[in-house]
Amino acid sequence: MTTKEKKYARARERYAEKKRGVEHYIPVDHPDAVAARNHLALCKLSGMTVDRIAELGGVSASSVCQFLRGTRSRSGVWEPVTHVHAETAEIYRAIPVEEAPPKGGALMDPTGTRRRLQGLFYEGFSIRTLAREHGGTTYQRLHVEMTNSRDGKFVRACTVREIKALADRLSGKDPRDFGGRPEDITRTRNAARRHDYAPLICWDDDTIDDPDAIPEWTGRCGTNAGYQAHKKLGTRFLVPTASGGYKESPGCYACREAEYAHRKGGVERQNWGNGAHGPVSEETALIVKRLVAGDTPTQIAEAMGVKRFKVYNIRRTVRAGGYAALTEGVTDV
């Protein structure tokens, strides 16, 4: 039997099975499909690459990607798949979970890695000290991972594992015990306050990797009660002003916005993060428009001659829903 004859024979067999009510494709909300997706997500969290998952399952890497991410239409929009073959779902569930390789690994969300580095930075560990204690990277690379200066959306699984181990080892320790000079420690802590970083103590294991979570300074952050708790505790934060400087505020970023909304009766604040209650400046409006247009913070800072961290603060505000009158609902910048 030729290949063409085998193909037609298989098609006739499938048609006959369909007539008998045998389902070859199941919807993605079917329990078997949901179990397969959850198992693949577990494989990804362990650091396995898509190629390794496909190799163990004897399927193509493109089929795994389409099942997890969807298919890309001609307009460039990712559309989720609606059905999956029952046999394929069974194959996915049978793939063994492996440990990530020492180097490389799957592409993972960088949120937790960035927050752990920022937390160590807040405690006084400079980038050079962290690179020296890490032992397998440069301070330039750690700076990129901490500040996201290259707009990276993923990090390798090995990087996630290494930074987590570094944070577990250095958290709560005195930077002076690791070669940090007093003036460097003070400079590092002041820089962390200017960039609104949060210490590791403000994060739990189940929130530090969540992009939608906020640091908990008081246990009630993000509410007006959290702002009042900040005032009682006497904690002070540096807030950028419209003139480009800084002023002290008694609340963290989330509590400041909650307190402002409380005072205004729930009215949304249009100029989050710039420390001013008046109209948005022309420079800020132009930065917001360029962010919505797709320019990176580095490109905007170089073109407009402003400080890059200012652009990053404005971008963080846009992602949180601020400047709604300028973004027209666009927050994916």
**Segment 79-112, tens digit of pLDDT:** 888 888 888 899 999 999 887 666 777 778 888 9
Percent composition of the chain: helix, strand, coil (DSSP 3-state, to 5) = 55, 5, 40
Token pair, residue 328, equals 């027209």
Using CA atoms, how far apart are residues 193 and 121, in angstroms rounded to an integer?
10
CB count in 10 Å sphere of residue 292: 18
Phi and psi (nearest 5°) for 12? -65, -40
Q: What's the confidence (pLDDT) of residue 329?
A: 60
Q: Which of 183, 213, 186 is closest to 198 using CA atoms?
A: 213
> Does 152 or 174 have the greater pLDDT score?
174
Does position 270 have pLDDT exceeding 70, yes or no?
Answer: no
Mean pLDDT of the 289-309 span: 85
Is there a contact between 46 and 97 (Cβ–Cβ < 8 Å)? yes
Q: What's the confidence (pLDDT) of residue 172?
A: 87
How long a stretch of residues is the chain?
333
Question: Which amino acid is residue 279, in one-letter code?
Answer: P
Which residues on neighbouring strands pair with residue 247, listed in sequence order? 239
Does position 145 have pLDDT exceeding 50, yes or no?
Answer: yes
Classified as helix, coil or strand, 303 is helix
> Does 6 or 182 have the greater pLDDT score?
182
Phi and psi (nearest 5°) for 227? -65, -45
Q: What's the confidence (pLDDT) of residue 108?
A: 82
Q: Which of 256, 212, 216 is closest to 236 using CA atoms?
A: 256
> Does 16 or 165 have the greater pLDDT score?
165
Mean pLDDT of the 15-44 span: 81
Q: What's the confidence (pLDDT) of residue 23?
A: 65
Does position 125 have pLDDT exceeding 90, yes or no?
Answer: yes
- Residue 15: CB partners within 8 Å, gap ≥ 6? none
Position 183 confidence tier, pLDDT thresholds 50, 70, 90: very high
Q: How confident is the model over 151-162, as pLDDT tens digits?
A: 667 888 888 888
Q: Work out the mean pLDDT of the chain and round it to a whole number.
A: 81
Does position 243 have pLDDT exceeding 90, yes or no?
Answer: no
Q: Which of 129, 105, 107 is closest to 117 using CA atoms?
A: 129
Is there a contact between 55 and 98 (Cβ–Cβ < 8 Å)? no
Per-residue b/e over 227-249, b at no fewer than 16 CB within 10 Å?
bbbbeeeeeebbbbebeeeeeeb
Pairing mode, strands 237-240 and 246-249: antiparallel
Q: Which of 120, 118, 119, 138 is closest to 128 using CA atoms?
A: 138
Using CA atoms, how far apart are residues 39 and 29, in angstroms rounded to an integer?
14
Domain boundaries, the chain: 19-93, 107-202, 224-327
The percent of residues in the chain predicted with pLDDT above 90, rounded, is 16
Does position 121 have pLDDT exceeding 90, yes or no?
Answer: yes
Using CA atoms, how far apart are residues 164 and 220, in angstroms rounded to an integer?
26
Q: What's the confidence (pLDDT) of residue 92?
A: 92
Mean pLDDT of the 32-53 span: 86
Is there a contact between 252 and 215 (Cβ–Cβ < 8 Å)? yes
Mean pLDDT of the 134-156 span: 79
**Chain Cα centroid distance, residue 3:** 48
Is there a contact between 271 and 323 (Cβ–Cβ < 8 Å)? yes
Residue ranges in 46-126 assigned as alpha helix (H): 50-57, 61-69, 86-93, 111-122
Position 119 confidence tier, pLDDT thresholds 50, 70, 90: very high
Q: How confident is the model over 198-232, as pLDDT tens digits?
A: 999 888 888 898 888 888 888 888 888 888 888 88
For the domain 19-93, what is the CATH code?
1.10.260
The percent of residues in the chain predicted with pLDDT above 70, rounded, is 86
Q: What's the confidence (pLDDT) of residue 123?
A: 93
Q: What's the confidence (pLDDT) of residue 107?
A: 79
Q: What's the confidence (pLDDT) of residue 265?
A: 60
Q: Which of 185, 141, 176, 180 is closest to 162 using CA atoms?
A: 141
Mean pLDDT of the 11-31 span: 76
